[in-house]
Structures are given as structure tokens and as C-alpha cells.
Amino acid sequence: IDQLNGYRCVCQTGYSGSECQNNDDDCLRKPCRNNGVCIDLINDFRCQCVPGFVGPLCQDNVDDCDLRP
């Protein structure tokens, strides 16, 4: 935004800083459950689940007794 003798940046979602130079860390709030590893993306994240858990947040326990060969 143009201002008298300067400017001010209005950042898109997922960025911060005086010139929008920082990618905000979407993993800071620890969204992944059951020891899943959070991978920060731009304005998003992905959870890498440990064996035995699935789902977008690693929230679902795999029922090993329900596995069919």
C-alpha cells in the first residue's frame, strides 16, 4: 500500500514480515496426532504418520486385526 514517503505491505495468507518475506510455520500449533511428523508447506501442512496410524492428522489407528490378506 502506497503511503506518504513510504509503503506498507499487506501479506497474503501464510506470509508475514515487513515485506512478506516470511513463510509462516503452520506446524507451530502441532496439528499432527499420535507422534506424526508435521511438514510445513505454504499456508498448509502435511502429516507424515508413524506405522499404525492414518488420516490427514494421523488420527485414525489402523486395526491390525481387520487386515485381510
Boundaries of every domain in the chain: 25-63
What's this model's pTM, rounded to 2 decimal places? 0.70
What topology does CATH give the domain 25-63?
A: Laminin (2.10.25)
Q: CB neighbours (10 Å) of residue 34?
A: 16
Cell of 38: 508435521
Note down pLDDT in tens along the chain; length 69 residues.
667 788 889 999 888 899 999 989 999 999 999 999 999 998 899 999 999 999 999 999 997 776 555
